[in-house]
Amino acid sequence: MKCNKSKPINDHLLRSWIRCRRKAWLDIYGDKQKKLWTAHSTLQLNHQIDCFHNLSQKSYGIGIQACEEGKNIAYGVRIKYPLIKNRIIKANLPILRKTSGESIWGNYAYQPILARQGKKITREHKLTLAMTSLLVNNLQKFQVQKGLILHKENKVLKVEKIKLSDNINTDLIGSLLNLEKDIESRNPPPITSNRKKCTICSWRKDCDAVAIKEGRLSEVSGIGEKRELLLNKIGINNIEELAKIKHYKLKEKLEVFGTQHGDISKQIILQSQSRSTNRAIKLNPEIELNNLKKAKGLYIYDIESDPDIKHDFLHGFIRLPKNIKNEISLEQTKYSPLLNLEKNTESFLWKRITKKLSINPDYPIIHYGETEPISLLKLGLRQGANPHEIEELKKRFIDIHLLIREYWCLPVRNYGLKSIAEWIGFEWKQSNADGARALLWWRQWKKSRKINKMYSRNLNSIFEYNRDDCIATLMIAKWLIDH
């Protein structure tokens, strides 16, 4: 691989590198045909535009000319400068805000602004803000001490001031120098041990293939970044080595670092054995599952949510009017999507859900993960359901995720719905669809439904995706019964 020593470093590349060193390298040299589109980047951009729109003032302009004219807001300012030796640093700043100071343009200056998603300010936010600040300070010949980070929570814009300290700037320069070393290398950096980050990365399939080929310990459920380092310290560097070690020996070695690591030794050995042989290992041979086997029928339940405003906008149900041991015809399963357009319409939603579930009060409600029962029980409490009603509803829930974890060790990296369903052979009708994409469809549809029909098809896409989630849950339950 020919390295590119002349390519400028920009704010996008820095953000990629902070998230994952390998991602930054692949952004330059990776095969673009292997790069996946993800909804997260579009959601982030939409969030940024929404935040900036709320901050906008009447006096604004475009580019450096806006700064020269002393506008309150300057959009789209492009800057480049060699912050580190022999390497140009570029940034396309979406927005700057006028503040007090003494710049080359007059008795005012500009401070950088970022918009963030997530619950807290991260190192990525601080270093990106620091880089744009150093570039702006060099342009205006005045040092601004603080930058702004915008965040919308429950539709309210919050503005946080971040002090641009010497420590942050030192961390930034060190990061830029390390980033420069990585992108000058002919070989990509190793795959990150923290594979949770990979779920929203556009290079995840490329890295998954490499990780499986190399037998990386990060492919084993229960092994994160810290635990992989501990295993490396005791001489275990891949799945094959972990699968061969005796449980008592691993427990003894790991307990040096804490009893919690020793306690999980048996689990990760079994998981590595399942992964290396690509076969399922039954943990409990006495598995009965009578509550599933004896049920005359089932409800399958899955929700879609907007986490930024804590709004469950879709409650999807499938009613299976037969015993799960019988042959299931997916074409004949009836799917019922119950939309909750606004948070203040929950009363009507609760009535619809309880009416649906009361048709067959003896049917269990199966779901995957803890989100669905927590959401529905809280909804009931908000609508004044009595304690007996809540308790009876709680008894009907069966968490298929918990049953899988309790009775089986499967050759998967994680036990999420998609991983397990795909392993047993289920395929979603829409390729590359996930919860983030469903959220994007929802926001697009909600914004446009009163204006035009451009995104009207998105509502059907959400329904189809949610129906597939319900069917995937059903298929995993069916697999449990059959095995």
* Residue 402 confidence (pLDDT): 95
Q: What is the pLDDT of residue 55?
A: 78
Q: What are the structural domains of the chain?
A: 9-184 (3.90.320.10), 215-279 (1.10.150.20), 290-482 (3.30.420.10)
Residue 321, phi then psi, degrees to nearest 5: -85, 40
**Residues 191-217, mean pLDDT to the nearest whole number:** 87
pLDDT digits (tens, 9 = 90+) for 12-34: 999 999 999 999 999 999 999 98
> Could you read off the pLDDT of 429-470 as tens digits, one per residue?
998 889 999 999 998 888 876 665 555 788 899 999 999 999
274-286 tens-digit pLDDT: 999 999 999 987 7
Of 106-110, 223-227, 324-328, 478-482, the least confident:
324-328
Q: What is the pTM of this model?
A: 0.88
Let me know the angle formed at the C-alpha of 72 by 70 and 78, rounded to the nearest 5 degrees.
75
- The predicted-structure confidence for 350-391, as pLDDT tens digits, reads as follows 999 999 999 999 999 999 999 999 999 999 999 999 999 999
The average confidence (pLDDT) of the chain is 90
Q: What are phi and psi of 74, to 5 degrees?
A: -120, 120
Per residue in 32-47, is it b (16+ CB within 10 Å) or e — as a string?
Answer: eeebeebbbeebeeeb
Evaluate whether 179 touches 17 at the Cβ level (below 8 Å).
yes
Ranking 183-192, 241-250, 453-462, 474-483 by mean pLDDT, the lowest is 453-462
Q: Is the pLDDT of residue 90 over 80?
A: yes
